[in-house]
Chain A
């Protein structure tokens, strides 16, 4: 016997969590594109999506975050901080790649400086992941040693029932248990079998790629130019990626009054490493694409012992010129044979 959440009880759960003061968030369909967003009832959730177009990271690291307000007068400089918005949240219907992405970024945001904005939200969010029973051709979690039912980064794992009527509940963390205690009476014990998770074929050998990337000779390989000639530097791949985490600090307003903000940035942009002198150490798009791959599969694992990629496939799915991590790593796999 396992604990089961039947789908027809989900609305009551949402209500219960909301009346306990939690913001309930999940995958929703907006006009022509899907994302994780707050909902008032379970009917707003779209749990049939393979994966939301936009990643879960924006719930923790929004595209634009005000940090402080400044005001400079002749006699003084005043600043007032924006504290990270607080309040308990439950994210219902995350995918394993998205939840893993958050766990991948935790050590980064806590490394030399603890990013309060990230951790305040991390500490107040319960992540309820639903194991995938379908995937598309771009999904590649298994190539990154993850799986459609990975528990990394999740507080609860739900396994869809074979009869489609609900989910088996696996409580993974105290935070998850705490949230599900609130709906304990809405859960049932049952023996309904769980559906098999989708099988996602492995597309490349990540270890072999890492070895190739570590070889300093390959840094100047012709490969980089050839593979990225068509990249237009649009940044979609980084903005949609659950693990890409670069940001820029911008002062908006005037010299004497304004708001300092933390906005997403991308290594795909020509301005990313542009110096004030005009010199740009990554002056070509191929150097930028190399950076993206090197960072994710060489530098990041060197520092934090994990690839900075959870295999969600968004970078390939949404690239306007049909590039992406998949093709590049497949080619590197071939080169490293």
Chain B
């Protein structure tokens, strides 16, 4: 049986036994390359589920849809390892109770689909810990290496050019499972902490705020990068920050649901006198 078939059956069982009230997965998109998030509430609809290597978006953000988990019923969700990490971060930040989530795990290293064992976050701990070990080498972003070699001035120009395209839609924020605040700091106007306009200053402010606020929280799912309508390579910023946080604090976001958030912890013997 294909993994897709297997998971359709599993989804059917979960729904018909009443174990979950909804399955969040992927369905066919408007063309052959596209997949779209799908919300299934009855066993009969489970045949609409699609699973292949084109299912790349991280669906964990939908779990925080207002009211979804407030009845304490369970929801099943298709997740890649990044998605499971996202669940841990959200749980560590008290945004959801992982007991309410049934994971239908999969991955597609080198384009080949594979099922992942387990249905609760704890069962993925070994897998996630292994990711921590291999991440820096395998990330292999050529562009990142190029940027590292630049002088500070060149690097500034590179990002200035990229950020000049930003139209301040905040699609990057909306697509990110970690950006769950009902009222983001950039939407506050009394006082207005961050310029709302898409001029140079406003764009730098936003993108720097985003980078910092996601440091140690970003699970590198790539949702933001894919959502950006002007294709700013946001993943490079996330990658860089993830490396910094790993090297400085040995912190790999989303290893457990009780992990201490790196931005919210302070130690008296910290070698720095200021943040980060």
- CB contacts (< 8 Å) of A327 on chain B: these are 30
A258 to B: closest C-beta gap in Å: 9
Point out the residues of chain B lying under 8 angstroms from A318, CB to CB.
Answer: 229
Q: Check if A234 sits within 8 Å of B227, measured CB to CB.
A: yes
For residue B135, CB closer than 8 A to chain A, the reply is no
Q: Which residues of A107-146 are within 8 A (CB) of B?
A: 137
Contacts of B230 in A (CB 8 A): 32-33, 35, 53-54
Contact assessment for A239 and B229 in the assembled complex, using a CB-CB cutoff below 8 Å: yes
Q: Which residues of B contact A (CB under 8 A)?
A: 29-31, 34-39, 57, 61-62, 161-162, 165, 167-171, 174-175, 182, 187, 189, 192, 195-199, 202, 223, 226-227, 229-233
Q: Is the CB of B30 within 8 A of A236?
A: no
Report if A184 contacts B (CB, 8 A). no
Shortest beta-carbon contacts, A-B, top 3: A234-B171, A32-B231, A64-B197
Q: Is the CB of A31 within 8 A of B162?
A: yes
Quote the shortest CB–CB distance from A329 to chain B (angstroms): 13
Bound CA span A53–B167, Å: 12
Say how far B233's CB is from chain A's closest CB, in angstroms: 7
- Supposing A234-B175, A235-B170 touch, asked if A64 and B165 sit within 8 A by C-beta, the answer is no
Give the size of the chain A interface in residues (CB under 8 angstroms): 38
- CB pair B39–A229 under 8 Å, yes or no, is yes
> What is the interface of chain A, defined by CB distance below 8 A to chain B?
30-33, 35, 53-54, 63-64, 137, 229-230, 232-236, 239-240, 248, 250-252, 261, 263-264, 266, 270-271, 316, 318, 320-324, 326-327
Closest to A330 in B: B30
Q: Give A44 Cβ to nearest chain B Cβ, in Å.
A: 16
Interface of A is mostly: loop
Q: Collect the chain A residues with CB atoms within 8 Å of residue B165's CB.
A: 30-31, 33, 35
Kindly list chain B residues whose C-beta atoms are within 8 Å of the C-beta of A324: 30
Complex Cα distance, B192 from A1, in Å, reads 62
With a CB–CB cut-off of 8 A, which chain B residues contact A54? 167, 229-230
B31 close to A321 (CB less than 8 A)? no
Query: Which residues on the B side are within 8 Å of A64 (C-beta)?
Result: 168, 197-199, 202
Among A35, A63, A232, A240, the residue within 8 A (CB) of B198 is A63
Please list 14 pairs of residues, one from A and one from B, whose beta carbons are closer than 8 Å in the complex, sorted by A's number. A32-B231, A35-B165, A35-B230, A63-B168, A64-B199, A64-B202, A230-B36, A234-B169, A234-B227, A236-B169, A248-B196, A250-B196, A263-B196, A323-B36
B229 and A263 form a contact (CB under 8 A): no
**A240 — which chain B residues lie within 8 A by C-beta?**
229
Beyond the given A234-B175, A261-B196, A321-B57, please list 7 additional residue pairs across the A-B interface where CB-CB is below 8 A.
A31-B231, A32-B230, A53-B230, A137-B31, A239-B229, A248-B196, A326-B30
B34 with A322: CB separation less than 8 A: yes
B28 to A, closest residue via Cβ: A322
Query: Is A263 a contact of B169 with CB atoms below 8 Å?
Result: no
